[in-house]
Structure 1
Amino acid sequence: MAAAARLFRDAADPDSVKMADIAQAAGAGKGTVFRHFSDRTGLLKALVVEETRQLREQVLHGPPPLGPGAPAEERLPALLSALLDLKLNQRALMLALERAGAGSPYLNPTYDLWHSEVAGMLSGVHGDAAADYLAHALLAAVRGDLVEHLTGQGADPDELHEGLRRLCGSVLAHRADGTV
């Protein structure tokens, strides 16, 4: 896991990190890596779980603004900002998971946690049905491929954080009944 994390952290292109490279860097046989993770997607999911462990702990049990108890107006932008930082700092790994086909980022426990937390923050404002969709839409704003595109176009991380803050404010300001 450590060897794979290092290779993805150092990679300019996530597709350049091959299972054979990971096995070699770990001092293991390629077959051993495949037996443990079954395929590249399994390895990517395991790495994402490991790389998000601390953030997941903060969201579930930490102090505000990330942890429970903070009002949605503080917690939502804090969570999305933390996810943006994760995507910026783990660019190749997050892109690799998003590109993994059957390993869709929507089909893993880490995404389920982010979605559940965001939807929970929004349900009191927009109702459960709207909150589900809005949570997916807000999480799309921090997808690795979008972050990669925007930074490749010259967007500064501070601009991305400001855009997220405004997006969260807008979504939270407009209630389901049409009032602001």
Structure 2
Amino acid sequence: MAVERVDAARNRQAILRAAEKLLALHGPERISLDLVAATAGVGKGTVFRRFGSRTGLFQELLAERAARIGDAIAGGPPPLGPGAPPAERLLGFLDELAKLAAKNIALIAAHEQACAADKHQDPTYRRWHEHLTGLIDQLRPGGDAEFLAHMLLASFDGELVRQITGHGGVNRLRAAVRDLATTILPAARVG
């Protein structure tokens, strides 16, 4: 794997921070790569070479936010990491997604808009779906784990997250998603 040049890494961070800032100020609808480049202090070509499109930019920004969760799943302590029972891992993962979604509502909405045609092929979505599918398969052998994983991930739709957290915050979102999980997967109930 090639090591990223220092200036390329600096530009990448500047572009991601500019996109973040613009999402917070204007929402996803009014963000163009021209505006991101100007805000980051880089040329439009730099943004295009690095990310290719708005979709690529939002995918990378979400992947950056999701990296901590991925690291915890792969080798962190329970309940996310290996070693915890599948029910605890599933609920812990959903709790983390609720926190991520509540903190990044504008990004989630932008990502959904940019990836609408191919949402289920997005690398971050695929990793989350694969993880949930594996856990669900352990909790409900013979069930349609793939479908149930999609249903749980649909709980993190940007507009739905905005509505739920607007009237109850992240705790309401977390509780609602846990309730859904334990309703469709009774084996996911924990203590």
Q: Which band: TM-score by shorter chain? A: 0.7 to 0.9
The CA deviation at 1:137 is: 0.5
Q: Secondary structure at the match of 2:81?
A: coil
Match of residue 86 from structure 2: 72
The CA deviation at 1:104 is: 3.7
Across the aligned residues of Structure 1 and Structure 2, the Cα RMSD in angstroms comes to 2.1
| Conservation of the 8 A alpha-carbon contact between 1:73 and 1:172 | no
| Conservation of the 8 A alpha-carbon contact between 1:7 and 1:17 | yes
Match of residue 4 from structure 1: 19
Alignment match of 1:168 (pick from 145, 158, 181): 181
Q: Secondary structure at the match of 1:161?
A: helix
The CA deviation at 1:103 is: 5.8
Counterpart-to-counterpart distance in 2, 1:148 and 1:86: 12
Alignment of 1:115-130 (within 5 A): 115-127=129-141, 130=144
| Conservation of the 8 A alpha-carbon contact between 2:87 and 2:139 | no
Counterpart-to-counterpart distance in 2, 1:102 and 1:82: 23
Q: Secondary structure at the match of 1:11?
A: helix
Alignment match of 2:171 (pick from 146, 158, 164): 158
The CA deviation at 1:129 is: 5.3
Cα shift readout 1:2-36 (whole Å, capped 9, x = no counterpart):
3223333x235221222122101211122321222
Q: What TM-score, normalized to structure 1?
A: 0.85
| Conservation of the 8 A alpha-carbon contact between 1:98 and 1:104 | no
Alignment match of 2:103 (pick from 83, 89, 101): 89
| 2:28 matches 1:14 | yes
The CA deviation at 1:91 is: 1.2
Alignment match of 1:110 (pick from 107, 111, 124): 124
Counterpart-to-counterpart distance in 2, 1:82 and 1:143: 15
Counterpart-to-counterpart distance in 2, 1:161 and 1:12: 27
Structure 1 portions without partners, runs of 5+: 176-180
Q: Which runs of 4+ in 1 moved over 3 A?
A: 101-105
Alignment match of 1:30 (pick from 39, 44, 47): 44
Change (3 A) 1:101 1:63: closer
Structure 2 portions without partners, runs of 5+: 1-15
Matched residues, number:
173
The CA deviation at 1:160 is: 1.6
Counterpart-to-counterpart distance in 2, 1:103 and 1:27: 31
| 2:157 matches 1:143 | yes
| Conservation of the 8 A alpha-carbon contact between 2:134 and 2:145 | yes
